[in-house]
Amino acid sequence: MTSLTVLEDSAVACCAPLAASPLSDTDAETLAIRLKALADPTRLKLMSLVMAGAGGEACVCDLTDAVTLSQPTVSHHLKVLVDAGLLHRDKRGRWAYYRPVPGALDALASVLTTGPAASLTA
């Protein structure tokens, strides 16, 4: 499986809307990694929990009970979301806190639109 480099806030966009033009091989791979990361029910729930968390972030310590999985399993799922460019990870003491990458989900939504081409930069 290909690993995606962690993205900076300014590099959220991957590609033009599907209806605008055919995807390049690179754009198709990047988009597939992001969509695959969200396609897992546990990761989708974790993304929702992080986004709904106080201050728009959540500690891994608060997420394990919500998904009834072990801390290492939750951390693995969160790592997939980080590697896909959907979450940021911030280490504070012994705990990791996660927050959404600004504009990452909006950029995905823009790619999937059937309307006119939209700007994909956050």
Q: CATH code at 37?
A: 1.10.10.10
Taking 50 as the threshold, does the pLDDT of residue 4 lie above it?
no
Residue 95 included in any domain: yes
What is the percent of the chain where pLDDT is above 90?
49
**Using H for helix, E for strand and C for coil, what is the string for 27-95?**
HHHHHHHHHHHHHCHHHHHHHHHHHHCHHHCEEHHHHHHHHCCCHHHHHHHHHHHHHCCCEEEEEECCE
pTM to 2 decimal places: 0.76
pLDDT for 57 equals 94
**Token pair recorded at residue 14:** 């991957």
Residue 4 included in any domain: no
pLDDT in tens, 37-84: 999 999 999 999 999 999 999 999 889 989 999 999 999 999 999 999
Residue 116 included in any domain: no
Residue 77 included in any domain: yes
Residue 25 included in any domain: yes
Residue 35 included in any domain: yes
Local confidence band at 17 (pLDDT 50, 70, 90 cut-offs): low
